[in-house]
Structure 1
């Protein structure tokens, strides 16, 4: 099994005909993803040429869904058009929208996340690398060649740290890796992924990567304590970040004592999560937990 994305997923790419859309559609296809169409109102009726695969371009998401049965969309459109793109996908009945675009105004994100939730569409992102179920499908920009199918579930705010942990633990592999994005508002949270991995029979251990800013990791710790029986290993980025300065992600900012890396680390450890001091140490903790074969509360 997998979380959110499987080999049966039929994927659209909104913005496929742009430079980034073409590049990453080619990579998704190479990873085995069933990319069934692109969406661009100005280029409807054309096709995208990806070597031995020609992908049709549709004028609307609804047209694409009706023609292909697509249930996932990956959004590469510019920030000004992201809200309309996600709204269109939700109206067409898409079940999963992966919003890669960064720089989307927070009020637009709040609006399209609420709209999508009302219509049963899950949002991954925005400002995220997407998600990958190794050996099955890849929706977004995560490199597919740095890992293999395995036993670890990964949820992360950071794209770069997602890639690093995937590489560090490549010999074990992953069930699914989800990059939820680092903006102040995201459609899918750490808690959503923890719940999904807890239910997934192919996930034996969960890796949670957080960063400074907000209280998402503290809330995730509370959820782990109450509901998660599988072992969880964590890493928090930003111990050396100066107070009051945004660090890379729009949501990664510390104000006073709120949102510090230390506070998040302490909350996770109090919930029984082993927290590494570096990505490499985090990988070692994962290996140790898997070798011990223990449940989180043992």
Structure 2
């Protein structure tokens, strides 16, 4: 089984053109087996690009194809409007990989989605996307690093560590159900807790690998949720173990302020919640391999 997307998910690429990153990654997603059914571009409605019909708006694309997910790869100034356009068209799942959206714009869009479009889930922005191994890949994750079959679900703030963690499992012959990159921006559309809750409810996900990073309080909040609501074993790694206070990493949300948001504080909170905490991604893979060996 998988969470959020599956083999039946149909995708519209927002911001498609013959030279766009959306087309490049959308074609890779299609080659993986994802059902890419439409693209949108206000200036190219009625065209067909690489076999993908293009519509002037998301509403037109949804009406014609019944698309159930959107893949947004547009520049930062256009991304908030693109997210809202998809929500207004009734798309239930939106993946936005765009980096560099101002935090106040993210907050505005997040609050509008919660208030006006409760049936729509946003993944991202500034995220690698989602891959349900062997079924559906939306975003920029390389499909060949994922091994279908479960029993492990992955959730990560960091994109590159997400790829490494998935590949560590694949090298050990450990399959994945779904890998979810939530992104490292200050206002993610989908949180650790959202994904943990979905994995807890998924009967085919037997264990969870969580990748956090310095900055913010998301990992501490996840730890509290795990302690109270997650019955499945969780392994975690926090990127930025050696970062000094005040150091900003590549993500807007990855900044340490005083003693808050440090890797040490996050690791301690997770360990106190019963999570197996690793010191590096390779060790995380090793710990998960041990967990999988003892699954009933």
Offset, 1:293: 2.1
SS of residue matched to 1:43: coil
Return the alpha-carbon distance in structure 2 between the equivalents of residues 291 and 204 of structure 1. 11
Relative to structure 2, which stretch is displaced further, 115-124 or 187-196? 115-124
Return the offset for 1:19: 2.4
CA distance in 2, matches of 1:16, 1:206: 34
Aligned residues: 290
Matched, 1:72 2:74: no
Q: What is the alpha-carbon root mean square deviation over aligned residues?
A: 0.9
Q: Give the Å deviation of 1:16.
A: 2.1
Q: Report what 1:138 is aligned to.
A: 137
Aligned pairs for 1:257-296 (under 5 A) are 257-293=259-295
TM-score computed with the length of structure 1 as normaliser: 0.96
- Matching of residues 1-298 of structure 1 within 5 Å: 1-17=1-17, 18-49=19-50, 54-117=51-114, 118-119=116-117, 120-149=119-148, 150-170=150-170, 171-293=173-295
Name stretches of at least 5 consecutive residues in structure 1 with no aligned partner: none
Q: Greater CA deviation, 127-136 or 112-121?
A: 112-121
Distance between the aligned counterparts of 2:193 and 2:200, measured in 1? 10
Shifted more, 264-273 versus 7-16: the winner is 7-16
- Is contact 1:86-1:116 (8 Å) kept? no
Q: Which runs of 5+ in 2 are unaligned?
A: none
For residues 146 and 34 of structure 2, the distance between their equivalents in structure 1, rounded to whole angstroms, comes to 16
Shift of 1:26: 1.1
TM-score w.r.t. structure 2 length?
Answer: 0.96
- Partner Cα distance (2:216, 2:184) in 1: 10
Tell me how far 1:172 sits from its aligned partner: 1.1
What displacement does 1:22 show?
1.6
**Distance across 1 between alignment mates of 2:251 and 2:210:** 17
Deviates more, 1:127-136 or 1:238-247: 238-247
Moved over 2 A (4+): none
Deviations 1:155-187 (A, max 9, x none): 000110110011100111110000000001100
